[in-house]
Amino acid sequence: MFKRRLNLYYIGLILTSLLISGIIVSQVTVKRYKLQVEDELKTNASAASYFIEENTPENYNEFAVSFSNKLNSFLDEAHTIRVTIIRPDGVVIGDSVADIETMNNHRLRPELIDANRSGIGVSVRKSDTTNIEYMYLAEKLDNGNFIRLSVSLAYINSLTSAIYLYTLIALLISLAFAVLIGWKLSSFFVRPITKLSNHAKEISNGNFSHRITHEPKPNELSRLIDSFNKMTDELESSFSKTSNRNQELSTLLNTINEGIVAVGDNYKILFANKKIKSLPGFEFVESNGNVNLIKNSAVLNIIETTLISKSTVQKEIKCHNLMLSCFASYFELHDGCGVIVSLQDITRIKQLEKLRYEFVSNVTHELNTPLTSIKGFIETLKDGAINNKETAMKFLDIIDIESDRLSNLINDILTLSSIENETTSVVKENVNIKKVANDAMILLSNRIREKNIHVTNNLDESIFVSANSDRIKQLFINLIDNSIKYNKQSGSVNLYSVKNKDIVEIHIEDTGIGIDEKSLKRLFERFYRVDTGRSREMGGTGLGLSIVKHIALLYGGSVSVKSTPGEGSDFYITLPVL
């Protein structure tokens, strides 16, 4: 664009100069030629005046023809002189070209008026007789007549046309040379400028590896290009260092498992890592077209407090279902101030604290009940009941039962703790679910016989799962034991499986007392009992189903239950199969 504009300016300047020169030359040439013609006409008019005054002609018309022929004998056809003699009243009495009888009165011709006034008159116009442009020169004679000489200006018009033609040819030739030379000159000057412009554009687009190639020459443009390349080297080095530092900082901040956001004093986001963007309620919205703002009111209040106090603020806030620990710190920059906010998700910690509190409370309660009972009977025995053999044996039997309860509770707590701390990296084996269920039924055979329960194992013997066989056996023992405890006398328990692609559903269905709907949601919680008194009476610890749930979760499965009060329950576990 710049090169084309430069060429146009250059060519326009050349053409304008040549055009003005051509016009001036043509005008000067025409003027000089007219002055020359006028001088010649004056000389000839003086000569004619002299002849007439010395020898007054009898016939002015013949004199005009004769004198014109003598003058024209030395001239070419383009420069022939016409001679006209006119009386003071304007009547033509002699003319070398036209018939005087047909000619108009010339009294009002400009050259005659001027000649009558000053002796000589000159005018240029088209002839009424020949319709050709002439220069007329009239001189007043002593006898009052006028002699007028005229010459055609057709030659000067052709000369002017020739000058214009030559000027046009010169313009075209000059144009060709101007285009060629202008292109060369513009290429010489514009190419480096274009390179510099393109280089600056590449730099502005972040391409710091771009360099300007050129042939080293001892001139200003070459030195300017070298300076640009050197400046680019320094910019690339500086930008690379800054970019690496920013990348390291960004990587570090994005790998931190805390949400971090830096906010300016206008609440514009200066930086936000990936973690904070993933927190619910921390979506960033646009304001005024391009300013990112936080829309979480709790965080905004903390930021505002920090900006006002210019100190550090720490607070726990609730956001949706999350508990967050918010730490805001004030900072100052050369062009303003801001706040860095660190947000840590402490939801899990709070939940664990709550679970720990509930667990400790439940364990304390569960342990306190048998211990209180044992301590009470021991004190009774000390007070003399030991001397009564029948009473002493009864109390010792109760102490034995309570000790078993206490032992079972501690064992279940240890089992649950072991399962929770266990990972899937523990050695696993291919476990046949039907065989393990049979083993569990053998261990519970005494209880089965006591209540005359009919237990049927209809599990598919071809199904294997990848797990620890002892854990799967514990799962079956807890579920079958519950189905026996809370079953009707002479009831039934049916074990069957449903395979769906790579998942198996293991069902333990009984004809027991069933579970009311309000208890189903909490059934697998630690220490939850549907009927507290009945559960303790049967020796339950309240941890059996919780152990089942954690075993299923350990191997990528789940546990659920369907139950109808008075009709029975259906516990089913889903596990991935081999």
What's the pLDDT tens digit per position in 545-577? 888 888 888 888 899 999 888 889 999 999 998
For residue 67, what is the domain's CATH number?
A: 3.30.450.20
Q: Residue 217 in 3-state DSSP?
A: coil
- Last residue within a domain, chosen from 358, 387, 421: 421
Does any domain span residue 267? Answer: yes
Cα 18 to Cα 396: distance, rounded to the nearest angstrom: 136
Please tell me whether residues 46 and 107 are part of one structural domain. Answer: yes
Q: What is the average pLDDT across 349-360?
A: 72
- Last residue within a domain, chosen from 131, 159, 187: 159
Strands (E), 334-428: 336-345
pLDDT digits (tens, 9 = 90+) for 229-271: 777 777 777 777 877 787 777 777 777 778 888 888 777 887 7
Number of domains forming the structure of the chain: 5
Answer whether 134's CB lies under 8 Å from 82's CB. yes
Least confident of 185-194, 317-326, 369-378: 185-194
Residue among 314, 312, 310 at smallest CA distance from 324: 314
Residue % of the chain over a pLDDT of 70? 79
Residue 93 or 527, more confident: 93
pLDDT of 286 > 60? The answer is no
Alpha helical stretches, state H, 256-343: 274-278, 297-309
Per DSSP bridges, beta strands 454-458 and 492-500 are: parallel
Cα 412 to Cα 407: distance, rounded to the nearest angstrom: 9
pLDDT, position 143: 83
Please tell me whether residues 573 and 561 are part of one structural domain. Answer: yes
Please tell me whether residues 362 and 390 are part of one structural domain. Answer: yes
For residue 537, what is the domain's CATH number?
A: 3.30.565.10
Phi and psi (nearest 5°) for 151? -135, 145
pLDDT, position 80: 81
Please tell me whether residues 316 and 240 are part of one structural domain. Answer: no
Strands (E), 392-453: 429-432
pLDDT winner (highest mean) among 66-70, 89-93, 211-215: 89-93
Domain coverage including residue 107? 2-159
Does any domain span residue 325? Answer: yes
pLDDT, position 218: 61
Does any domain span residue 203? Answer: no
pLDDT of 191 > 70? The answer is no
Residue among 222, 200, 221 at smallest CA distance from 210: 200
Least confident of 75-89, 90-104, 176-190, 454-468: 176-190
Does any domain span residue 441? Answer: yes
pLDDT, position 495: 93
The model's confidence at residue 130, banded by pLDDT at 50, 70 and 90, is low
Q: What is the average pLDDT across 153-182?
A: 74
pLDDT, position 199: 67
Phi and psi (nearest 5°) for 486? -105, 25
pLDDT, position 492: 93
The model's confidence at residue 290, banded by pLDDT at 50, 70 and 90, is very low
Q: What is the average pLDDT across 150-172?
A: 76
pLDDT digits (tens, 9 = 90+) for 373-398: 777 778 777 777 777 777 778 878 77
Least confident of 123-127, 192-196, 450-454, 520-524: 192-196
pLDDT digits (tens, 9 = 90+) for 356-367: 766 666 666 666
pLDDT, position 376: 76
The model's confidence at residue 338, banded by pLDDT at 50, 70 and 90, is confident
Please tell me whether residues 482 and 559 are part of one structural domain. Answer: yes
Please tell me whether residues 271 and 408 are part of one structural domain. Answer: no
Cα 188 to Cα 502: distance, rounded to the nearest angstrom: 77
Least confident of 14-28, 241-255, 391-405, 524-538: 524-538
Does any domain span residue 190? Answer: no
Please tell me whether residues 296 and 377 are part of one structural domain. Answer: no
Answer whether 62's CB lies under 8 Å from 70's CB. no
pLDDT of 345 > 70? The answer is yes
Does any domain span residue 183? Answer: no
pLDDT of 277 > 60? The answer is yes
pLDDT, position 303: 85
The model's confidence at residue 2, banded by pLDDT at 50, 70 and 90, is low
- Last residue within a domain, chosen from 225, 250, 275: 250
pLDDT, position 190: 64
For residue 404, what is the domain's CATH number?
A: 1.10.287.130
Please tell me whether residues 485 and 386 are part of one structural domain. Answer: no
Residue % of the chain over a pLDDT of 90? 8
Please tell me whether residues 371 and 434 are part of one structural domain. Answer: no
pLDDT, position 435: 92
Q: Residue 297 class from Cβ within 10 Å (0-12 exposed, 13-18 middle, 19+ buried)? A: exposed
Q: What is the average pLDDT across 316-332?
A: 84
Please tell me whether residues 321 and 407 are part of one structural domain. Answer: no
Please tell me whether residues 279 and 335 are part of one structural domain. Answer: yes
Q: Residue 54 in 3-state DSSP?
A: helix
Q: What is the average pLDDT across 489-510?
A: 91
pLDDT of 493 > 90? The answer is yes
Please tell me whether residues 99 and 119 are part of one structural domain. Answer: yes
pLDDT digits (tens, 9 = 90+) for 381-440: 777 777 777 777 887 877 777 777 677 667 767 776 777 666 544 567 888 999 999 988
Instruction: Spell out the residues 6+ positions from residue 440 whose beta carbon is closer than 8 angstroms to its own.
Output: 473, 476, 477, 480
Least confident of 97-101, 210-214, 374-378, 393-397: 210-214
Q: What is the average pLDDT across 292-301?
A: 73
pLDDT, position 570: 92
Average pLDDT over the chain, rounded to an integer: 79
pLDDT, position 383: 75
